[in-house]
Amino acid sequence: MTPMEFLLLVKGPLFTIAVAIFALGLLIRLGEIFALGRAHNYAEARRSEVLPGLRTVYRRFNPDPGTFRRAPFDVVVGMLWHIGFVIALLLFIPHVELIKSTFGIAWPALPNPVVDAVTAITLLGLIAALVHRLTQPVKRFLSTPQDYLIWTVTFLPVLTGYLAYHRLINPYPLAMGLHILSAEIFLIVLPFTKLTHIFTAFVARYYNGAIFGRKGIQS
């Protein structure tokens, strides 16, 4: 297979398969959650659940001061690479173009050098997060093979994207093909692993805010 044939394969049929598995898988996962439902609550609420629920979805982006003081590395590194990942994913010119051609919606992108720098920071952040996972006692204790799998699956698209952009893998169609393939692996793995938190964390935060909210606490 030539590099160009490889690129066409990952851009064509493999892409369709990956997106299909992702979409169907995610739908099933969310369906499994909501199908469980919640028991009726007979206790008189102090206030409605909806607003506190939505507020908690937002509030959990900012850790409380005490937690920040006790775990500054977790908070800073975690935020850094999450934000970097989202910027590289959604604000890189070729990605915006891809989204535009696929879904017909577009938004302004960031200049390439900015995304380049953000990507480098994201890679460093991810490496720091991995080192932390391997060394910090609580993280090491909790970690399962899946945690390392999803780290790898998250790291690879960023790494291959960075290498492709800087022409560090040749020929270019191979570099591009590897980048797209790694993104497809990410999509396929997502619904089967805790990568689902990308979506379910918002559901979890809502429930958390709702449960506390009805008792009069903004969580």
Partner 1 sequence: MTQGANSFSIQRGLNAWREEIDAPVASFFSSCVHCGLCAQACPFFVETGDPKYTPIHKLEPMRLLWEQEYTFWGKLKARLGLKKEITDAMLEEWEPLLYDSCTMCGRCSLVCPVGNDIHYMIRKAREGMVASGHAPEGLVAASVRAVKTGSPMGLQWKTLEVQIKHVETATDLEVPIDKAGADYLVLLSSMEIINFPEYLEAITKIFDHAGVSWTLSRDCFEATNAGVQIGSKDIGAQLVQRVVDAAEKLGVPNVISPECGHAYTGIRWEGPNMIKRAYPFKVFHIIEVLDQLRAEGRIQTEGKEMDRLSMHDPCNLARKSGVVKQQRSLMDLVAGDFIDLEEHGEYQWCCGAGGGVSSNERAEELKLAAFKRKKAQIEQVEPERMVTMCATCRTQLEEGLEEFNMDIPVVGLTEMIADHLVEKEESGKP
Q: Which residues bind partner 1 (CB under 8 A)?
A: 28-29, 32-39, 41-44, 46, 56-57, 60, 63-64, 66-67, 70-71, 74, 78, 136-144, 147, 150, 192, 194, 196-197, 200-209, 211-212, 215-219
Cβ atoms 10, 181 nearer than 8 A: yes
Cα–Cα dist 170/172, whole Å: 5
Cα–Cα dist 107/149, whole Å: 32
Q: Which is nearer to partner 1, 5 or 64 (CB)?
A: 64
Task: Classify 193 as helix, strand or coil.
Answer: coil
Q: Which is nearer to partner 1, 29 or 95 (CB)?
A: 29
Closest CA to 126 of 95, 156, 104: 156
Chain centroid offset of residue 56 CA: 19
Per the document, the length of the chain is 219
Q: Which is nearer to partner 1, 53 or 177 (CB)?
A: 53
Q: Which is nearer to partner 1, 136 or 152 (CB)?
A: 136
